[in-house]
A and B are shown apart, each in its own frame.
Chain A
């Protein structure tokens, strides 16, 4: 009886969560996707240590399209998807301007 009980116990493996952390980045806003007319529709932050963080395209992140090729400081939550880093923007400010929360 004990052996059958032991056999029925299965090891449950929980799926690994994407690691989320709040960071502040400083870098250039660059375009990474375009529509048919050549207008940028998605952006990324290119940092001074040669990393790129793709910006989630809604909320505050959507506003960064108007700051393409400008230097910004961005705070947000970063998650990894494959070999890409994606940031959900909480607040940002153009270098030298007032913070936008």
Chain B
């Protein structure tokens, strides 16, 4: 049975709505927003009719999103219809833009009330059917991960849905911390190999001398220290999936062996004579431009073509800021699961600052910062004080340039150039995680020139290095 809650001081509004749905549905009333929230904590309602004045609050501000948030926090799917006088239609429209489902004007017309609610209900049914059909593919454990409003990520998930049931090699390309490992596991869990092992190998973390042995195994006596036969990751992943993270770092000899796996489906252990059939689905991941490495002779072209059979590019976090609330919610849920604290909210000031920040470390950086804030926070809301200050600083360099009109034009010009240079260097160092080589390349100068400039402006590269966890651990569970 559908239920409606009318939040208005106007008795006629409640009477009109009650008459529309008399004996069909339950209609209750509340005198104000706080009373409505109190009622909602005890009972669930499908629709809320609320006067726009009550959303504006005592400050008469038009932050309708913040005003509506508490309702969605209780019931994410609740439909909110805003009521307003003719003079306040603009405010009602603002509320709809902030997320309310529709608006009605006083005096309420019963036909209009019925029409709006029925239309909303019909579109809810259609949306539910679509969501059901779409979500039928995704395993229930991964529904949180595939939630996105970003068009680029929707394309990523469409591609994953397409390629997961096949045996095709997949190549994930994206910046560090964007969740390549998580998406690789998503493919594995939606493939025919979901019951078989998923083996992740961080190729960049293994010494060059041990990489071949780690991937393909070795025979007893193959080299000094090989006291017994060892199975490689490809053998352990037999029937399952193997993730080769940072595949661009593998040695030339390992590249040849990997090419043999992808081309012939076979490999030999180090020091072995037996040819073994490889039956692992290969997923590779990289944050480097493999095509460029091929052009520079650092990576085999034939191997690149075979890895690049089905490439999927993952956008960095700064290009999918509309997903930040979902990601924050997921991180908070996981933190609450593993720690004794019960923090369920993030301060609006923090949520406003997050989309403005560059996130050079992407989702992993966000997880690290939130975990730190979670540990430091004494209250039940993650406040700005628990986060580092750079999250809240403006990114615009013009905001920090001040003009002193007492100086000569030449001095102002010199100071302006210095300020812009300093901000530029800070920005590129931040984006390249403090790497001098990469930053110099982006800036089009030599590393020596970059060092000189950094010394002149007192910039330390260590301040821009994002602390990394081991990439073998999957960041989100």
Contacts and interface: CB of A to CB of B under 8 A. Distances in A.
Interface of A: 27-28, 30-31, 34, 38, 46-50, 52, 69, 71
Contacts of A28: 162-163, 166, 168, 310
B110 interface: no
Interface string B282-324: 0000000000000000000110010001100000000000000
Given A38-B301, A50-B165, A50-B166, 6 more contacts: A28-B166, A30-B309, A34-B305, A48-B165, A48-B192, A50-B192
Interface residues of B, number: 12
B167 interface: yes
Contacts of A71: 162
Given A28-B162, A30-B310, A46 B167 contact: yes
Contact of B305 (A38, A47, A50): A38
A47 B168 CA distance: 9
A72 to B, nearest CB: 11
Interface in B190-226: 192
Contacts of B301: 38
Nearest to A49: B192
Nearest to A32: B309
Contacts of B310: 28, 30, 69
A47 B166 contact: yes
Nearest to B279: A50
Contacts of B305: 31, 34, 38
Interface of B: 162-163, 165-168, 192, 301-302, 305, 309-310
A39 to B, nearest CB: 10
B17 to A, nearest CB: 43
B196 to A, nearest CB: 12
A93 B233 CA distance: 39
B237 to A, nearest CB: 15
5 contacts: A28-B168, A30-B310, A31-B309, A46-B167, A50-B167
A31 to B, nearest CB: 6
A34 B301 CA distance: 10
Contacts of A27: 166
Contacts of B192: 48-50
A55 to B, nearest CB: 14
B157 to A, nearest CB: 15
Nearest to A34: B305
Nearest to A52: B167
Contacts of B166: 27-28, 46-48, 50
Contacts of B309: 30-31
A48 B192 CA distance: 8
A34 B303 CA distance: 11
A71 to B, nearest CB: 6
A27 B301 CA distance: 26
A27 to B, nearest CB: 6
B320 to A, nearest CB: 22
Contact of B168 (A30, A34, A38, A49): A30
Nearest to B193: A50
Nearest to B162: A71
6 smallest A-B Cβ distances: which pairs? A48-B165, A50-B167, A46-B166, A46-B168, A34-B305, A30-B309
